[in-house]
A and B are shown apart, each in its own frame.
Chain A
Amino acid sequence: MTLLDSRTPEGPVAEKWENHKFSMKLVNPNNKRRFEIIVVGTGLAGAAAAASLSELGYRVKVFTFHDSPRRAHSIAAQGGINAAKNYTNDGDSVHRLFYDTVKGGDYRSREANVHRLAEVSVNIIDQAAAQGVPFAREYGGLLDNRSFGGAQVSRTFYARGQTGQQLLLGAYQALAKQVAAGSVELHTRTELLDLVLKDGRACGIVTRDLTSGDIRSHSAHAVVLATGGYGNVYYLSTNAMASNVTAAWRAHRRGAFFANACYTQIHPTCIPASDEFQSKLTLMSESLRNDGRIWVPDAFDDTRPPDEIPDGDRDYYLERKYPAFGNLVPRDVASRNAKTVVDQGKGVGPLKNGVYLDFGAVIERDGEDVVRSKYGNLFDMYDRITGENPYKVPMRIYPATHYTMGGVWVDYNLMTTIPGCYAIGEANFSDHGANRLGASALMQGLADGYFVLPYTIGDDLAGRLSETPVSTDDPVFAEAETVAKSQIDRFMSISGTRSVDWFHRELGKLVWDYIGMERTREGLEKALTEIPALEQEFWADLRIPGSAATLNSGLEKAGRVADFFELAKLMARDALDREESCGGHFRAEHQTEEGEAKRDDENFAHVAAWEWNEPGAVQTRHQEELTFENVALSQRSYK
Chain B
Amino acid sequence: MSSELDLTLQIWRQDGPHDEGHFESYTASGISEDMSFLEMLDTVNEDLIHQGDIPIEFDHDCREGICGTCSLMINGQAHGHEKATTTCQLHMRKFNDGDTIVVEPFRARAFPVVRDLVVDRSAFDRIIEAGGYISVNTGAASDANLTPVPKEASDTSFDAAACIGCGACVAACPNSAAQLFTSAKLAHLNLIPQGQPQRFERTESMVEAMESFFGSCTNHGECHEACPKEISLDFIAFMNRDYVKAKVKNRKLAGQT
By a beta-carbon cutoff of 8 Å, the part of chain A in contact with chain B is 48, 51-52, 55, 66-71, 73, 75-76, 85, 87, 123, 125-132, 134-143, 159-160, 162, 165-166, 169, 172-174, 176-177, 179-180, 186, 188, 211, 240-242, 274-275, 277-280, 282-283, 350, 381, 384-387, 450-451, 454, 497, 499, 501-502, 543, 545-546, 550-554
Contact A545 B49 (CB under 8 A): yes
Which residue of A has the minimal Cβ distance to B153? Answer: A141
Query: Known contacts A160-B158, A282-B64; is A385 also within 8 Å of B138 by CB?
Result: no
Apart from A75-B62, A131-B133, what 20 extra A-B contacts exist at CB < 8 Å?
A: A67-B122, A71-B61, A75-B66, A76-B66, A132-B134, A132-B157, A141-B151, A142-B148, A162-B162, A173-B132, A174-B136, A179-B125, A186-B125, A240-B67, A274-B34, A275-B34, A280-B64, A384-B91, A450-B139, A499-B50
When distances are taken between beta carbons in the complex, the residues of chain A under 8 Å from B134 are 130-132, 173
Contact B89 A129 (CB under 8 A): no
> Is there a chain A Cβ closer than 8 Å to B27's Cβ?
no
Which residue of B has the minimal Cβ distance to A188? Answer: B122
Contact A553 B57 (CB under 8 A): yes
Contact B62 A73 (CB under 8 A): yes
* Shortest Cβ gap from A269 to chain B (Å): 14
Instruction: Flag B55-67 by CB within 8 Å of A: 1 or 0 each.
Output: 1010111111111
When distances are taken between beta carbons in the complex, the residues of chain A under 8 Å from B189 are 132
* Shortest Cβ gap from B32 to chain A (Å): 5
> Is there a chain A Cβ closer than 8 Å to B15's Cβ?
yes
Contact A129 B150 (CB under 8 A): no
Which residue of B has the minimal Cβ distance to A48? Answer: B138
The 4 closest A-B pairs by CB, nearest first: A141-B148, A130-B141, A173-B133, A129-B144
Query: Known contacts A139-B151, A160-B158, A545-B49; is A71 also within 8 Å of B69 by CB?
Result: yes
The docked-state distance in angstroms from the alpha carbon of A338 to that of B34 is: 23
Name the one of B55, B61, B195 contacting A73, with C-beta atoms under 8 angstroms.
B61
Contact B61 A279 (CB under 8 A): no
> Is there a chain A Cβ closer than 8 Å to B254's Cβ?
no
When distances are taken between beta carbons in the complex, the residues of chain B under 8 Å from A451 are 138-139
Contact B149 A141 (CB under 8 A): yes
The docked-state distance in angstroms from the alpha carbon of A451 to that of B137 is: 12
> Is there a chain A Cβ closer than 8 Å to B81's Cβ?
no
When distances are taken between beta carbons in the complex, the residues of chain A under 8 Å from B133 are 131, 173-174, 176-177
Contact A274 B2 (CB under 8 A): yes
When distances are taken between beta carbons in the complex, the residues of chain B under 8 Å from A139 are 151
* Shortest Cβ gap from B119 to chain A (Å): 9
Q: Within B52-85, which residues are at the interface with A (CB < 8 Å)?
A: 52-55, 57, 59-69, 85
Which residue of B has the minimal Cβ distance to A180? Answer: B129
Spot the interface stretch: B37-45, B100-108, B214-222, B234-242.
B37-45
Contact B61 A141 (CB under 8 A): no
> Is there a chain A Cβ closer than 8 Å to B140's Cβ?
yes
Instruction: Flag B142-178 by CB within 8 Å of A: 1 or 0 each.
Output: 1111011111001101100110110000000000000
When distances are taken between beta carbons in the complex, the residues of chain B under 8 Å from A277 are 32, 35, 39, 42-43
When distances are taken between beta carbons in the complex, the residues of chain B under 8 Å from A126 are 141-144
Provide a sorted-by-A list of 5 A–B residue pairs whose CB atoms are within 8 angstroms: A68-B122, A73-B61, A75-B67, A129-B147, A241-B63
Contact B53 A545 (CB under 8 A): yes
When distances are taken between beta carbons in the complex, the residues of chain B under 8 Å from A125 are 144
Query: Known contacts A350-B1, A387-B91; is A70 also within 8 Å of B165 by CB?
Result: yes
Query: Known contacts A176-B128, A551-B115; is A132 also within 8 Å of B2 by CB?
Result: no
The docked-state distance in angstroms from the alpha carbon of A231 to that of B42 is: 21
When distances are taken between beta carbons in the complex, the residues of chain B under 8 Å from A137 are 148-149, 151, 154
> Is there a chain A Cβ closer than 8 Å to B114's Cβ?
yes
Name the one of A66, A545, A552 contacting B69, with C-beta atoms under 8 angstroms.
A66
Name the one of B43, B52, B121, B138 contacting A67, with C-beta atoms under 8 angstroms.
B121
